Amino acid sequence: MLSRGFVGSLLVLLGGLVVSTLPRSSPVMDWDLLGALRGEEAGRMAGLTLVLLGLGLLAGQWLSLCRHVALARGHDRDDALALVRHATVVWAAPLVLAPPLFSRDGWSYAAQGMLAHVGLSPYEHGPSVLRGPVVEAVDPRWLDTIAPYGPVPLALGGLAAGETGNPWVLVVGHRVVALLGLALLAWAVPRLAQWRGVDPALASAVVLASPLMLAHGVGGLHNDLLMVGLMAAALVLAVEHTWWLGVLVGGLAAAVKVPGGLVCVAIVLVSLPVGTPLAARVRRLAGAAALALGMVAGLGVLTGLGVGWVHGLTVPGTVNTPLSVTTLLGGAIDWTAAVIGLDLGPATFLGLVRGLGSLITVGVILHVALRGRTGSRPEALHGLAVMVGATVLLGPVVHLWYLLWVVPFLAVLRLSRLGMVGLLATATVAGLVAPLDSSLHGAYLAIVLGSMLVACLLPVLLLTSRARDRLERIVGAVWPPAAPTPTPTPAPTPAPARGSGRKPQRLVGEVGVHAEHPLHRA
């Protein structure tokens, strides 16, 4: 199982060298074989095929891992969590030295870190003010835009840029930062799962080793992974230590990306006694907000970057993504208005629907904060999953890697069988379609070939009788939270006196629950 998953990641790495955008000055561009593959249509299609086959192999081994840990008993159950963590390390290892996969954001991170290093604020300047290899592979769309991220990734990028100007090395440094988020999840998810009576090993397998995590979290090295790792750690620290420590770590998560601060609401809920009056709840919420904002502002001052990143929060909204429900709905209404001849400005309904989605999201967050049950760990987890889920579902911009925000908090809930199947299927699909990202716009042959391969892989992984049996065993397994202890044989119960109306008691045992993209030239 582990070796086949490693081979899958290796295939993704090798194919990624062919299909990913690389700096022109990178030494690997001088390799004759790689140059020949990248320069020919057949070579680029072969690289894409290799990537998708590798992702398919990873997905299959991941589902087998989930099945194994779900059914583990005895000594196997004791070692299941260690097996999941070991598998994650082995499968992620080939991707550590890879270029940014399935997105060019990693090259932007390297350039933004260089800006911070040379004393230019990434909140005032785009990467286009730089020269040299560090900007060769940055997506032209983001060359003149300011950074929408908090001071944490930019400061860390600036420290790395102080050691080297090699963009590939800088990208690896940012991937190490992303892997810190993965390590935090490996520590926090088992603890969160136990709050809800969910198998810690199975929850960890769903979160850590999934195609979604390996493709977007590790391969794509997005800041979202560090953010969600800090969120999970903050909630655990608040319960196991003190609420204000959790809030400070939640502020650290917000200093990566703003949605990370949502965990502070869950921390307030879990830290207050049951039945806390509204006034006391509001006071705790205000105190948590002050601590978290103080952490964000303090980091801005400490790093010298300030809080100018607030102005960059609108940058992601300058693009339209097909995964955003509000964008799709608003665009459809605008198209309908144009067809029927309404004389309206461009994107009139798009802006309105996006704004409505944001208002609903704020309403959901306020409802959880003011009406959510206090003093309950399961309810705090549920509330956090609802808030993050609404933020992703109703957001004006949604990328596949945004699913990293919500999966860790769904995996530790006691989902229904249908919900668990949906979560497994979503993580599988999101990983497999990773190569079909927006940078392929215009590469029609690559899109067609990739879609055909995904259409062939998904039934094998999810719909065959063997696949359905594997999913059924995963979602049907019940976690026994403690090893069964011998039950003493009860003494015989004397028969009740005739006419007494009493019946013998039955003992019942309880069991715990549960640069141009190479493919553009195709």
- The 10s digit of each residue's pLDDT in 204-255 is 999 999 999 999 999 999 999 999 999 999 999 999 999 999 999 999 999 9
CA atoms of 100 and 107, how far apart (whole Å): 7
Note the pLDDT tens digit of each residue in 308-349: 777 767 666 667 788 889 999 998 998 888 888 887 777 888
Is the pLDDT assigned to residue 74 strictly greater than 80? Answer: no
Q: Which of 253, 484, 267, 478 is nearest to 379 (CA)?
A: 267
Instruction: For residue 168, give both structure tokens.
Output: 């590939």
Q: What are the pLDDT digits (tens) for 166-211?
A: 999 999 999 999 999 999 999 999 999 999 889 999 999 999 999 9
Asked if 58 and 12 touch (Cβ cutoff 8 Å), the reply is: yes
Tokens encoding 478: 């019940």
Give ∠ CA 314-309-156 in degrees, rounded to 5: 125
The model's confidence at residue 482, banded by pLDDT at 50, 70 and 90, is very low
Please list the helix, strand and coil fractions of the chain in percent, rounded to the nearest 5, in that order: 70, 0, 30
In the prediction, which pLDDT does 520 show? 55
Task: Enter the tokens of residue 219.
Answer: 């391969």
Closest CA to 14 of 89, 102, 95, 91: 95
Q: How many CB atoms lie under 10 A from the CB of residue 466?
A: 10
- Selection from 272, 469, 293 nearest residue 383 by Cα: 272
C-alpha distances out from residue 333 to 130, 324, 337, 350, Å:
41, 14, 6, 8
The pLDDT tens digits for 3-59 are: 899 999 999 999 999 988 899 888 888 898 988 888 888 888 899 999 999 999 999
More reliable by pLDDT, 491 or 60: 60
Break the chain into its structural domains and give their ranges. Answer: 2-478
| Residue 358 φ/ψ region, left for φ over 0, alpha for ψ in the -120 to 50 degree band, beta for the rest | alpha
In the numeric block, the tokens 């102005």 are attached to 311
Which parts of 132-277 fold into alpha helices (H)?
Answer: 151-161, 167-195, 200-208, 211-212, 223-240, 243-254, 263-271
What tokens does 293 get? 């904002």
- Among residues 211, 147, 215, 224, the alpha carbon closest in space to that of 185 is found at 224
- The pLDDT score that the predictor gives to residue 176 is 95
DSSP 438: G
505 has pLDDT over 90: no
Contact 170, 110 (CB under 8 A): yes
Rounded Cα gap, residues 225 and 231, in angstroms: 10
Rounded mean pLDDT of 91-113?
A: 93
Is residue 495's pLDDT more than 80?
no
pLDDT in tens, 412-427: 999 999 999 999 999 9
Distance CA 331, CA 90 (A): 43
